Chains A and B, each alone.
Chain A
Amino acid sequence: MSDTNEQRRQFLKTSVGAAAVAIAPGMLMFDMARGDTEPVSSKVRWGMLIDTANCADCDKCVKACNKENGLSGGLSPTDSQWIRKVELKDMRTERSLALPMMCQHCEEPPCVDVCPTGASFKRADGIVLVDKHLCIGCRYCMMACPYKARSFVHEPLHDQKPDVPRGRGTVESCTMCVQRVDKGLQPACAEACPNKSILFGNLNAPDSEIAKKIRTVASTQIRADLGLDTGIRYQGL
C-alpha cells in the first residue's frame, strides 16, 4: 500500500514539474514585459510652487520648455504653447507682476471630466496628461480648461523628440516634463529658472521642501473658487 502511495506521490511531483516547465515561458514573458519599475503611485503628488516676487523679466522657463519638448516656440494662434509668461497689472494701484502660466495639474481636472474617449487622464501621481493614442482631437478639453493651458496640433510635425511624441490632430499641454520626472529629474522650466522661482516637489511628502514651504508661506491657487485643487500654487500674487 505504502509503495502505491509512494508511486502516486512521485507521479504527482513529476506531472507538476512538467506543468511548471510548460507554463514557465509564458510567465517569464509577462514578467519581462512589465519591467522592473513599479507603476506610479498616488502616495506621490507632484506639484510646483511659483514665487512671483522672484520671477524675473525673462522667458527662460518658456525657452527651456520649448527645447525639452520640441515645440516650435512660435506665437501664432496655431502654435503650441505649453507654458507662457502672463503679465498682471492692478489698474487701481498699478502694481504689476509676471508669472509663468501652464497646466495647473488639478486634482479634479475639468479636461478629464469632459473627454469623450478617456484620452485626457490624471496619472496616479497627479500629473494630467493626454493619451494621444486615444485623442480624437475634439478639443472639448481645451474649452473646459479655465487656464487656457491646452493646445491643438494643427499641422503635421517632423523630427519630434524621441521622449516627447507629438502629432497632428491631438491636443497637448504641459506634461510637467513627465519623461524627466520619471527619471528622477525636475521639469525643464524649474531647472532653467535663474532665480529658482519654480519649486518642484512632492506635495504629499511632509518633509519635502515644497510641502514645508507651503506650510509656512502664503500661497494661492489661481481660480481657487472653482475647487479644482491645483497642483501648481503661486506665492506673492
Chain B
Amino acid sequence: MNLLCDKSDGATSHSTWSPKNGNQVAGYAVLRARSLLAYLQGMSRSSFRRALHLDLLMTVPVRVTIFLFALLCLSNIASATESYGMPKLDIGKGGQCVAPTEWMRKNHMKVLFKQRDETVHQGIRDGKYSLKNCVECHASLRDNSVIGRPDSFCEGCHRYEAVKIDCFECHSSKRSTALVQEESK
C-alpha cells in the first residue's frame, strides 16, 4: 500500500491520497481478510455472498478501492508503452536520422514509396529517404544487415507488428560499404 501511495504521488499530480483514506483502506483489507477467513472456516457460500454484499454497501471503501485499482492500471499502462513487449533492436546508428524516430515509425513506408517512384521513374537518386540510406545507417554492426534476426532493425518491429516485409526479396539488406569491402577481399 505504501509503495502504491509513493508511486501515485510521484506519477500523478491530481492524487487525493490522505492518511484518513489509508486507515480506511487498511480497515477494509482487514474486513476482507476476516470474511475470507470465515469462508475458509466453513461458512456457507450464501453467507459469504452476504458478506460481500455488505462490503458493497460501504461506499467509501469501494470508492477508494476503485481509485487504487485505476491507479494500478494507469501505472501498468505507463510502463507498458515504454518497455513491455517492445522489440529491443540492434541498430547500427540509433536516434534521429532523417526525421524524428516516432514520426518515422509511423510514416517510413510513405516516404519510402514516394522516393521509390521518383527514383525509378524520374532518376532522382539523392533523396534522403532512400532504402539504401536506411540500411547504410541502421544495419546491425554485427552482421551489417537489417533483416535475418529477431532484433534486426527492420525485422524486429515488423515481426512485432506482424507486417510482412517484402522489400528485401529484391533489395539488398546489407550495408553497401560492407559489400564493397567483401568484394575487395
Whether A166 pairs with B122 at a CB distance below 8 angstroms is no
Q: For residues 37 through 66 of chain B, which have their beta carbon under 8 Å from a beta carbon of chain A?
A: none
> What is the chain B residue whose CB lies nearest that of A133?
B116
In angstroms, how far is the closest chain B Cβ from the Cβ of A24? Answer: 15
Whether A33 pairs with B127 at a CB distance below 8 angstroms is yes
Whether B124 pairs with A34 at a CB distance below 8 angstroms is yes
Which B residues lie within 8 Å of A154 (CB)? Answer: none
A35 to B135, CA, bound (A): 19
**A3 within 8 Å of B (CB atoms):** no
Whether B126 pairs with A165 at a CB distance below 8 angstroms is no
**B120 within 8 Å of A (CB atoms):** yes
Whether B123 pairs with A178 at a CB distance below 8 angstroms is yes
Which B residues lie within 8 Å of A121 (CB)? Answer: 121
Whether B174 pairs with A159 at a CB distance below 8 angstroms is yes
Which B residues lie within 8 Å of A165 (CB)? Answer: 170-172
Which B residues lie within 8 Å of A36 (CB)? Answer: 126
**A50 within 8 Å of B (CB atoms):** no
A38 to B125, CA, bound (A): 10
Interface size grouping (class) on chain B: 20 to 34
Q: For residues 165 through 191 of chain A, which have their beta carbon under 8 Å from a beta carbon of chain B?
A: 165-168, 170, 178-179, 182-183
Q: For residues 108 through 138 of chain B, which have their beta carbon under 8 Å from a beta carbon of chain A?
A: 111, 114-116, 118, 120-129, 132, 135
> What is the chain A residue whose CB lies nearest that of B171?
A165
Whether A37 pairs with B171 at a CB distance below 8 angstroms is no
Whether A39 pairs with B174 at a CB distance below 8 angstroms is no
Whether B120 pairs with A162 at a CB distance below 8 angstroms is no
Q: A35-B126, A40-B122, A123-B121 are in contact. Are A162 and B132 (CB under 8 A)?
A: yes
Whether A162 pairs with B169 at a CB distance below 8 angstroms is no
Which B residues lie within 8 Å of A39 (CB)? Answer: 118, 122-124
A183 to B126, CA, bound (A): 10
**A129 within 8 Å of B (CB atoms):** yes
B65-107 Cβ-contact flags toward A at 8 Å (1 or 0): 0000000000000000000000000000000000100000000
Q: For residues 114 through 154 of chain A, which have their beta carbon under 8 Å from a beta carbon of chain B?
A: 121, 123-125, 129, 131-133
**A23 within 8 Å of B (CB atoms):** no
Which A residues lie within 8 Å of B124 (CB)? Answer: 34-35, 37-39
A133 to B170, CA, bound (A): 10
Whether B169 pairs with A156 at a CB distance below 8 angstroms is yes
Closest 10 CB pairs of A and B: A167-B170, A39-B122, A35-B127, A40-B123, A162-B176, A165-B170, A162-B172, A165-B171, A35-B126, A167-B169
Chain A interface residues (CB < 8 Å from chain B): 29, 32-40, 121, 123-125, 129, 131-133, 156-157, 159-163, 165-168, 170, 178-179, 182-183
Ordered by A's residue number, 15 sampled pairs between the chains whose C-beta atoms are within 8 Å are A34-B124, A35-B126, A35-B128, A37-B123, A39-B118, A39-B124, A40-B122, A40-B123, A129-B120, A131-B120, A133-B120, A159-B172, A162-B132, A162-B171, A178-B123
Chain B interface residues (CB < 8 Å from chain A): 99, 111, 114-116, 118, 120-129, 132, 135, 169-172, 174, 176, 179
